[in-house]
Structure 1
Amino acid sequence: MDLAGQDEGQEPLVARPIMVFACFEGSEEIAAARDTARTFLTSVQAVHGLPVSKRAMGMVQLVVSELITNARKYAPGPCLLDLEIVDGAVEISVWDSSPTPPSVLGADPGRIGQHGLEIVMAVSQRFAVQREPVGKRITAAVTLADDPGGDVAGHQIL
C-alpha cells in the first residue's frame, strides 16, 4: 500500500499550533488548572521535542495558578484557560466575565496579599490585559528554555 500521498493537502504537523484549552468554574479547580499546565508542558517536551526547563515548568504553573485564582475571585461564572506555544514561550491566556481590568499595584513588601499580578509580571516575558466584548483576557508569556542572556520584559495594559 502506498501512503506517500495520504497527507497531501494537509498542513504539516510542525506548522500546526501546539495548544490546549480548558474551562474552570470552581475555586477547587485551581489545582486542576495547574495540572493542565503541567500535563501540557510534559506533552510539549515528550511529544513535540521542545525543551522545557524546570524553571519554565514551575513558572507556568505559578502564573496559571495566580491568573485562575484572580479570575475565580473577582469575576462571576466560569473562566477559560488557553495555553499555546508561541515563539519559544508558553502563552498563558485567561478570560473571565468581568470587564474591569485588574489593579496592578506597585511593589510593597509590607503589603499582605494582592501580590499575584506583581509576581506574574515579574516572571513573564510579556504581559497584557485586553478588554473583550464580554469580560477581559489576561495574557502572559513564559520562556520555555532558560535564557542565559536574561529576561526580556514587555508589559502592557490595553
Structure 2
Amino acid sequence: MNGPADRSRTGRPVQASVTLERGSVRIAEARRWTVGRLAEARDDRGRPLPDQVVEAAQLVVSELVTNAVKYGSDPVELTLAFAGDCLSITVRDGDPTLPAPRRADPVRVGQHGLEIVAALSRDVDVRREPSGKRITARIPLASSRGDRPGATGPVSGAPPQERATWTRTVVDSSSVCTSSRSQS
C-alpha cells in the first residue's frame, strides 16, 4: 500500500492508491484502508470529512472492490483522489468486460451494487482501458442543494421521483456509463 503522494494547501491528501490481489483481498481491508486515508483528510476549513462522506465512501469501495474481485481479473487497484468538491473513488481491474447496470428490481436478490454506487455518487464513469476497465464514482464532499454530503439519490428535501439513473453511450469503442440526477 502506498499513501498520498502529496497534499493540497488545505492539508487534504490529493491522491492515495493501493494494489490488491484478487486471491487474497478481504473487502474489509479495503474499507479499513479507505477509512484510514480519509481520516487524514480535511475539508477546505481544516475540519475532518463529514461522517456521511466517509460512510458513503466505505460502501462505494465495498461494492466496487467486491465486483472487481468477483468478476474482474488482476491487477485490482483502488485509488482515492480529491478533485474540487468531490472525493473520487476509482477501481481498476484487468478484465475489459464492462458491468451492465440493471433496472431497479426490489424482488431481485443480490446484484444491486451499481444501484447502490449510483445512489451515493454524484456520477459514475465506467470505461474500458487498454489493460482492463476503470470505474470511478464521485462522492460530493458537501451538497450545493443543502442535502446530505455523500448522497445524490433519494434524500430528504428531494422530490420522491428524483433518482440516480444510468445512461450508456459508445465513444470510440469504449462504453461510458454515467449516473445522473433525473426527474422520472
Q: If the length of structure 1 is used for normalisation, what is the TM-score? A: 0.81
Task: Spell out, residue by residue over 1:41-76, the C-alpha distance to the aligned partner (whole angstroms, 9 max, x if none).
Answer: 110039x92551111110000000100000000012
Identity of aligned residues (%): 41
1:32-51 map, 5 Å: 32-45=29-42, 49-51=46-48
2:138 corresponds in structure 1 to 141
Q: Which runs of 4+ in 1 moved over 6 A?
A: none
1:1-158 map, 5 Å: 13-14=8-9, 18-25=14-21, 26=23, 28-45=25-42, 49-145=46-142, 147-150=144-147, 151=152, 157=168, 158=176
How far the C-alpha of 1:18 sits from its partner, in A, is 1.0
Gapped regions of structure 1 (runs ≥ 5): 1-10
Query: For residues 12 and 101 of structure 1, do their structure 2 counterparts lie closer, same or farther at Cα, with a shift above 3 Å needed?
Result: closer
Q: How many residues align?
A: 147
Q: Larger Rg: 1 or 2?
A: 1
The one-letter code of the counterpart of 2:74 is G
Query: For residues 148 and 54 of structure 1, do their structure 2 counterparts lie closer, same or farther at Cα, with a shift above 3 Å needed?
Result: farther
Query: For residues 38 and 63 of structure 1, do their structure 2 counterparts lie closer, same or farther at Cα, with a shift above 3 Å needed?
Result: same
Query: Does 1 or 2 have the higher relative contact order (CA < 8 Å, sep 6+)?
Result: 1
Higher helix share: 1
How far the C-alpha of 1:147 sits from its partner, in A, is 4.9
Gapped regions of structure 2 (runs ≥ 5): 1-5, 154-163, 169-175, 177-184
Query: For residues 140 and 81 of structure 1, do their structure 2 counterparts lie closer, same or farther at Cα, with a shift above 3 Å needed?
Result: same
The one-letter code of the counterpart of 1:94 is V
The one-letter code of the counterpart of 1:123 is L
Higher strand share: 2
Query: Helix, strand or coil: the match of 2:42?
Result: helix
How far the C-alpha of 1:14 sits from its partner, in A, is 1.8
